[in-house]
Structure formats: C-alpha cells, structure tokens
Amino acid sequence: MNLVELVLTVGKIAIVLGFFLNLAALGVWADRRQGAMVQDRVGPNRAVVHLPNMLARLIVLLPPALFGVLSIFLALGNVTPRLAHERALVNVQLTVLVTWLSLLVLCVTVQRGGAINKLEEMFEDIDPRSIFFGGLGLHALGLVAMRFVTLDGAPAAARITGFVLGGVFLLVGLYATSRVPEGSIPLRLAGTLHALADTIKMIFKEDFVPKNADRLLHSLAPMIAIFPAIVVTAVLPFGNDLCFADNGDKVFGFADLGNLVNAVPASGACAGWRVPLQIADLNVGILYIFAMSSTGIIGAAIAGWASDNKFSLLGGLRACSQMVSYEVAMGLALVGLFLVYDSVRLGDMAVWQGQNAWGVFVQPAGFLLFLTALCAETKRVPFDQPEGESEIVAGYFLEYSGFKWGMFMVGEYLEMCFASALLVALFFGGYSLPFIHPDGLRIAFGDAILYEYKMTHLAVTVISVLGFFGKVVLVTWFQVFFRWTLPRFRYDQLMKLGWTKLLPLAIANMMLTAVVVLAARSAGPAVASWLKILADLSQALIAVLTLAGFVALVVGLLEPVERKKFLASSAARFAAAMGGVKAEPRQA
Amino acid sequence: MEPLDRDLEEGLLELPSEPMMLNMGPSHPAMHGTVRIVLELSGEQILKADVQIGYLHRGFEKMCERGTWSQVFPYVDRCNYVSPMLNNVGYALAVEKMLGVTVPERCQYYRVVLGELARICDHMICSGAMCMELGAFTPFLYYARARENIWDIFEEETGARVTHSFGRVGGMANPPSKYFKDMVRAAVPRVLALVAEGEKMLLKNRIFLDRLEGVGVMKKEDALALGWTGIVLRACGVPYDVRKAHPYMVYDRMDFDVPVGTTGDNYDRFMCRQEEIRQAARIIEQALAQMPDDGPINVEDARIVMPPKNEVYTTIEATIQHFKIVMEGIKVPAGECYSYTEAGNGELGFYLVSDGSGTPFRVRIRPPCFATTQGLEQLIKGAMIPDVVPTFGSLNMIGGECDH
C-alpha cells in the first residue's frame, strides 16, 4: 500500500465511521422520540446551544452566499454548448427549487410569527400548499422551456440562468439573515443535540465499579463489545468503484487523483487505477463480518461475569447462548445468497444486484431468515432477553455507569445501523439503484432498451453513494420502528425458534437454492434471457414502488393536519361544556 | 496408550454444581409493590421460590382501630389503590350490615356503576402492566388512556382521581352529578373500543401467546385450598363470583355472565379479565337504565348520616348532629359481622367487631391478594425466570392488600 492509498483509506474510514456514528446517535434520538410519542410527551429536546447572534447570522448567510458566488463564478466560464445546455437546465430547476422552498419557509414563518413588513403581509393568507403546487408547475414549465433553447443559444442561456440563480441565492441568504431575531439564538435541532449532551454527561459521570468486581475485565468488556461493531464496517462497499486514469508513470500517485475518468463502459471495467469505495476489499468478504461480529459475544459475556452481580451473569449467559445460536442460522441463511451471487465479496454482490435483481427478490426466504437472525444478533425487541429489563433488570450491563455504559449503548446502536447496512448490501442492492449502470441510466427489459441516458462516472458514483447511505438510513428507521409493540420471547422459546425452526429452514433454503441455481445455469440461453427480463421487471417494480412511496409521502405531507384529540374532553371541560354541574346541595 | 476415560464413571464426569440464590426484589422492575422473591436457580430454572411480602407494612388494621368508623374509609382506599371505589363500598356495606340499614335504591345503583367502572380500571391496568413487563409497551398505553376516560368520571363525581374516599356509611359522600349518566354512557363505549384495540395487538401475536399459554398453571383443587377467589379462581374453572353466588346491592337484578377459564394458566387469567371488562360494561349499561334519576342517596337516619353543610351552619340540631358523628363516631351496635363483596381481585371481606362505641374494636380485612400471593410460589416453581413476570403480573398482586 503506498501513501496515496493510505490517505484514501483514512478518508474512507472517516466517511464510513462518521456516517455510522452519526446515524447511531440519530437512531438513539429517533428511538427516544418514538418512545416519547407513544407516551404522549415531548421527546428529548432540552439540550440547547445558545448561539451568539452574529454566529447565527453567519451560519444562515454563509451557505447561500457561497452557493450564489459559486454559481455566478461558474456562469462566467466558457463551456461547450452541450454542457452549457445541461447547466442551463440544472440552473433553471435549481432556481425554481430555491425560490419555492424559500417562499414556503417564509410563508410558514410569517404565519407562525407574524409579518414584519408589507411584503410579508402578502403571505399571511396564502395556503403554503399553493406555493408548493406553484413550484411544481414552474419546474415543469422550466423543463418545457429548455426544449426551445437551441445549442447555439445554450451558452448565453447558461450564463443568464447562472446569474439569476446566483442572484436568487444571495437574495434569499441576505433576507434570511435579516430575519434572524435579535439576541442569542437557541439551537435545538429538533432534539438531536440531546445525543451529544448525553455523551458529554456520560463522560463526566462517576465510573462505578462494584466492590468485588474484576476491575480489569470490567473495564475491558465495553471495549470488546464496541470493537466488532466498529471494525465490521470495513468491508461495506458504499459506492461504485472510482476509476482514475494513469498519468503515464505507471504508479498510482497523488497526481493520478486528478485524472478521474470521464465515463466508464457499462461493464464498469476500468483501465487505470481502480479505487473501491470500501475501506478494505477483502477476499473473504462477508466471512470477515461473521468472524468479527461473533467476538461481540465475548464482550457481553465478560461484562456479565466481571460485574459480580447475578443478574449480570444471567444476562451475559443469555447473550452468549443467544448470539452463538443465531450465528449459525444467520450464516446458513446466507449460503443460498452466496450460491446465487457466486461470491462472498460484498462488492461483487452489489454489482450482481445492480446487473440482475436485488437479493430480496432472488432469496425471499433467506431474507426473512436472515432478518430474524439479525434482530436476534443485535439484541433488539423481541430478542432483547440479554437485557430484558423486567426480568433481569438490565442484564449484562447492569453494573455499568458513565462512559462504559455509554460504550455498550453506542455499540448496540452501531450494531443496529450496521445491521441495516448489511441488509442493504446483501438484499437491497447495496449501492446500486434500479436501472442505474456504471455508464448511466438505462431502462431496459431484456434486450429491449426503452430509454437511455449517459452519465459521467462522477455523477454515477455520487448517485450510488447517496443511494447506499439513503437506503441504510431508511432501513435503520424501520428497525427503530419495530420497537415498543412486541413482547419479548422467553429464553427457551428463543432457543427453540433458533435451532428447530430457523436452522432447518435455512438448510432447506440452501439446498433448494443449490438445485435451482444449478438448473438455471445449465438450462441454456432461453431461460437465461427470461430470467434477465424477470430481473429487469423486479428493478422496475422497485423503481415504481419508490416513486409511489415518494408521491405518497408528499401527498401525506400536503394533507391538512387534523390533530385528533384522543379524549373527548376531561371531566372539567365536559362539565363546563354542559353548563356546569354540582348544582345540588352537598352532604358534608 | 489407554483411553483416558476408561475408569471414569458417568456420574463423576459431571461438574459439581449448586443452585444459585437470586434475590428478585424488593426493588425490581417486575415486583409491583415491594415484594421480594428469593429464587433458588438451576440455570434459569426456578427450583425453589420464597415469596416475601412484608416490605410494605403500614399496620393498616391497627390504624383502623384508632379512629371512628367513618375514618376507616381513607385506609381502605389504600388497600387496593387500583380500584378504591370497590373497597369503599365493601367497607360501607360491612358497617351497614352491622347497623342493619340498607341504602336507598338510587345509591345502590350508583355504587354498582362506580364499582364496575373501578373494576374495569383494575382489570385494564393489570393486563396492561403485564404486557408492558413482557416488553409490549403500546397496549399498556392504550389501556392507560382508556383508564383516563374513567378517571375523568371519577374526578367529576368524587373530586379525586385515585383515592376517592367517596363511600360513606349509609350512602355516598355526594349524590351523582347532573350529567353522571351521560358521562358514563359516553365513556364506556370508548373504553371498550380501546380495550378491543389493545387486545387485537396482543392476541394475534404468537410471542405473547407463547409467553402466556401453559405458564403458571394452577389446579382447581389447589386454588380452592389456597383460598383463591376472584379472577384467578375463575380462571381455574371454578365459577365462584360473589356477585352471583351471594348477590349484594342490586346485582341480582343484573344480567351478566361470569367468565370461567379451563386450565388456570396465565392466558386464562388474561382472557377472563378481558371478558370481565365487557361484562362490567354490560352491568353498567343495565344499572344506568334502571337507576332512578331522583330520590335520596343516603339513608334518612340522623344518627348515621351527616347533615347537609348549610344546615350545620344554620340550625342547632344539625350542628349537634354533625358534632356527635364527627367527635364520637357512628354508634354501631356491639357485635361482629363478616361482610364480603367482589372486589377487583376477588372476595374482599371485612370482619368487623364492635363494642358499641363509635370506634371499631377490630377491623380484620380479608384481602383477595393475600391469598392469591400465597400461590405464587407454587406457580413459578419449575418455571423459568422470565415466567415470573407474566405469572406475577396476571395474579395482579397489589402491595397494599398484602399488608398483614
């Protein structure tokens, strides 16, 4: 490994760890938020940072100002007509987007806090939805208008729209800055700061160690518990491989980093230097994940043993047996997948899923089995026996406080996020998105190409990275959603489920898959082409479902909010509405 | 080389082991009230269980002997603090039995309606708390919200949400408020809807059923031998309900069924509770229909019932009457009586002894939970630690009732 590779690896580690740690913190926040929602109280939102007024204004001003200046700067340069056309298109759409979004925010602000000038008074009676619909109309109008711009006129159009976009950005930034109220600004970020505040609190809390505990092991356990949760992220591919052209010296150096190739062929082949967006591209791939994640058990076991508490001991024992048992089913549930993908490398899996169908379509049974086993591995409801708070109080981390406890918690939530990432990598296409190929968008069923749009290598990579992280966030959110309704298993029922149901099913799935894969591979080209069409249909299904989900989300957001009061009234209000009661004379 | 295990006997291969003692409680998330269960464990299996209830001790019966007969009401409130109204009425009925008075019909219906509302609360909270301890938090919140509807009514009627102290010897503290019937009629369907919704979440859940079915089984004979009453007994298959077997107040005019279980496991207890909520709603409906809108609430006896406050301030007779009742207490004829009613958890009995003065000579309470808790040891022996949670939960042990 030479220096440039080292630097790149450090960068990748920063990206992946930064993402997972933040997602874990957000997961804690979402969990607590939902807990608060079901309990009808305000969630965690007391953590607050008071920003000095100048700083707040700067934060509001800086991004739009930067974007505005950048846009004007870009508009000044000379580009080819084709690129100019694209740029004009993006400029128009961005201008419309920024305009309606800002107007929407302004409208809501005015309606909540009151207008401060004549201009704002106009917004007092406007339905925010009309702004959104107006924006949508303008988007469509912009698309249509760009059809009339010829290639000759494109540079001028790009320049004008660039200036307009820059102007809009600057205007929005300046006006928003002027709207920042006087005095210091409390920054709450919807309560997400609470996770940070909790971390700071945990660092300064007393580190309690029971009197007869094994001090060394007691301190070691949280580290062992958090270690696998962090290191397993190394083999996750989070985007298309980057491809750099060689600058002629046949050695991968810093100079090559500037030569990102403009486009790669559909096969994704790279003639120069390939940089996988994956911290370590290991041959063993997923086996590394199994190997590492199973060491997490040791942390729980040691914590349970070293705490000198019988509840902890029971928790540690439960954690051990549960994780060991489910590891088997988890591994076997995936063997079918390996047969289909013909690889254990996560990068290859993502490529296969991009070219064919997502794992959840080719291995639905394997998916369900793996999901169950994964829930058990991450020790979340209904598999949270190791900490089952009504039975063994808090299980293996009962005797932990302060930052050691925090490490267990961070490890647990990291594991949850990583489990989501693993689900995405194995079953939800990894970083690949439907119909997005290394050379661009191509909607095709079998050999029939319906629509094709070439994209640059950089664009495809950015889309794939965003796609991966977006999917992980979605799946994590679903995992958080599981909680609060399911009762937990009993310990022996859990074991029975693992050994007598999941394991045989996983083996059956494996054997069935082996037969089907063998049959499909030796069936000949006709069957292969049919399978390809089926795979493309599955991709189309995902695309349609995603679009439908997005539309449903927008429609849901646009619906008038009608807060249903659960109680018809309290007795006092009921009485008041009825004209008062207790009119009769009382007995003492 | 010889095989190593040639001379070893099978028995010697096992490592020596001894059971682990585990203190579950008195401060433990699943031990409502302060109960301690000393468990002897082999792994997770319970070999022996010693249930110790003495951590909540207020000397409740002794306290009752210190004041007048009327001053006992706040104490009985705190016996079963989940359904205090039933305790109030139970105690009032006991004293009335000694006095030989019967409260007017309107009051009897009023007591029935309030009592059945309290019973619904009691059952909902028991079922909800059990689910919560199993990890399912949402149903508990559904039930807590349903209880809120009922507590609103109690708040309106009695002025208090939890411990009402609303019963009086010879009547109730207040007549029904003007819109009592409307409020109850509005609230009960809402409560039933919430109960059904919470139930839907649980009874279609395999995990929940697995945790309850066949766990904590009690045989009919054992239950009778232990002195179990109420839901826990009926879940074992004995259809004993004081309201049916020895009807008091106006329960003989009500048409309701007594749900009976078959196996006496946690599931049966849960289902009996759910069904009894519906039966209580039926009783409430009938009682509301039959309850007269006018008429006296309290007995017309100046020696028992306090005079109206405005008369106390304006007439000498009422002032003296008030003074006598407050300072000396109601003169209950010397003798003894045992009066029993169906409370939330079973037969709530009051054994009262009077020496003819205004103060009870002895108040002995027969709380249903005291008998029920005796059976816990038998239920959890041989089970696993997680089974303690639903078993203990489904018995609905109320710490205040075990105060002996």
Digit-by-digit pLDDT tens for chain B (404 residues) are 555 555 656 666 667 778 888 888 788 877 777 888 888 888 788 888 888 887 888 888 888 888 888 888 888 888 888 888 889 999 999 999 898 898 898 999 999 999 999 999 999 988 888 888 888 888 888 888 888 888 888 888 888 888 888 888 888 888 888 888 888 888 888 889 889 988 888 888 888 888 888 888 888 888 889 889 888 899 988 888 888 888 888 888 888 888 998 888 889 999 999 999 999 999 999 999 998 888 888 888 888 888 888 888 999 999 999 998 888 888 888 889 999 999 888 888 999 999 888 889 988 888 888 888 888 888 888 888 888 888 888 888 887 788 77
Among B149, B297, B389, whose Cβ lies nearest the Cβ of A567? B149
pLDDT greater than 80 at residue A267: no
pLDDT greater than 70 at residue A567: no
Among B134, B155, B173, whose Cβ lies nearest the Cβ of A487? B134
Cβ–Cβ under 8 Å, residues A539 and A355: no
Question: A265-274, A344-353, B271-280: which has the highest mean pLDDT?
Answer: B271-280
Q: What integer pLDDT is reported at residue B283 of this predicted model?
A: 92
Q: Does B334 touch chain A (CB under 8 A)?
A: no
Average pLDDT value over all residues in chain A: 82
| Residues B193, B195: Cα–Cα separation, whole Å | 5
The CA-atom distances, in angstroms, between B270 and each of A13, A294, B123, B146, B348 are 52, 39, 9, 17, 20
Please report residues of B whose CB lies closer than 8 A to that of A34.
Answer: none
The residue ranking higher by pLDDT, A40 or A314, is A314
| Residues B139, A464: Cα–Cα separation, whole Å | 41
Q: What is the pTM of this model?
A: 0.79
Average pLDDT over residues A482-499: 81
Q: Does A555 touch chain B (CB under 8 A)?
A: no
How many percent of chain A have pLDDT more than 70? 93
Among A392, A484, A487, whose Cβ lies nearest the Cβ of B205? A487
Average pLDDT over residues A7-35: 86
Please report residues of A whose CB lies closer than 8 A to that of B312.
Answer: 588
| Cβ-defined contact of A490 to B28 (cutoff 8 Å) | no
Q: What integer pLDDT is reported at residue B7 of this predicted model?
A: 60
| Residues B326, B70: Cα–Cα separation, whole Å | 9
Structure confidence at residue A568 as a pLDDT band (50, 70, 90): very low
Structure confidence at residue A41 as a pLDDT band (50, 70, 90): low
Q: What integer pLDDT is reported at residue B109 of this predicted model?
A: 92
Count CB-CB contacts under 10 A for residue A149: 18
Q: What integer pLDDT is reported at residue B112 of this predicted model?
A: 92
- Which chain A residue shows the shortest CA-CA distance from B43? A314
pLDDT greater than 80 at residue A544: yes
| Residues A344, A340: Cα–Cα separation, whole Å | 10
Please list the residues that pair with B20 across neighbouring strands.
B41
What tokens were used for A96? 């419309």
Q: What integer pLDDT is reported at residue A129 of this predicted model?
A: 83
Tell me: cis bond preceding A382? Omega within 30 of 0 counts: yes
Please report residues of A whose CB lies closer than 8 A to that of B306.
Answer: 587-588
SS3 B265: coil
Helices A364-378 and A503-521 sit at what angle, rounded to 10 degrees?
A: 140
Structure confidence at residue A585 as a pLDDT band (50, 70, 90): very low
Among B155, B201, B211, whose Cβ lies nearest the Cβ of A490? B211
Structure confidence at residue A38 as a pLDDT band (50, 70, 90): low
Q: Does A488 touch chain B (CB under 8 A)?
A: yes
- Nearest-CA distance from A581 to chain B in Å? 6
Q: Does A428 touch chain B (CB under 8 A)?
A: no
Cβ–Cβ under 8 Å, residues B162 and B84: yes
| Cβ-defined contact of A487 to B207 (cutoff 8 Å) | yes
pLDDT digits (tens, 9 = 90+) for A175-197: 888 888 888 888 877 778 888 88
Using left for φ > 0, alpha for ψ between -120 and 50, and beta otherwise, residue A186 falls in beta
Please report residues of A whose CB lies closer than 8 A to that of B193.
Answer: none
Q: What integer pLDDT is reported at residue B168 of this predicted model?
A: 87
pLDDT digits (tens, 9 = 90+) for A503-522: 899 999 989 999 988 888 88
SS3 A96: helix
Q: Does A500 touch chain B (CB under 8 A)?
A: no
Going by C-alpha positions, the residue among B366, B378, B373 that lies closest to residue B392 is: B373
Q: Does B152 touch chain A (CB under 8 A)?
A: yes
Q: Does A485 touch chain B (CB under 8 A)?
A: yes
Read off the DSSP letter of residue B166: -
Please list the residues that pair with B340 across neighbouring strands.
B349
CB contacts < 8 A (A, B): 139
| Residues B314, B307: Cα–Cα separation, whole Å | 11
- Nearest-CA distance from A489 to chain B in Å? 6
Q: What integer pLDDT is reported at residue B120 of this predicted model?
A: 92
Chain A, residues 289-328, CB within 8 A of chain B, namely 310-311, 314, 318
How many percent of chain A have pLDDT more than 90? 4
Edge-first strand listing for the sheet containing B45-52: B20-24, B36-42, B45-52
Structure confidence at residue A573 as a pLDDT band (50, 70, 90): low
Using left for φ > 0, alpha for ψ between -120 and 50, and beta otherwise, residue B249 falls in left
| Residues A139, A96: Cα–Cα separation, whole Å | 6
Read off the DSSP letter of residue A567: S
| Residues A322, A133: Cα–Cα separation, whole Å | 53
pLDDT digits (tens, 9 = 90+) for A188-240: 777 788 888 888 888 898 888 888 888 888 888 888 888 888 888 888 888 88
Q: What integer pLDDT is reported at residue B157 of this predicted model?
A: 84
Using left for φ > 0, alpha for ψ between -120 and 50, and beta otherwise, residue B267 falls in alpha
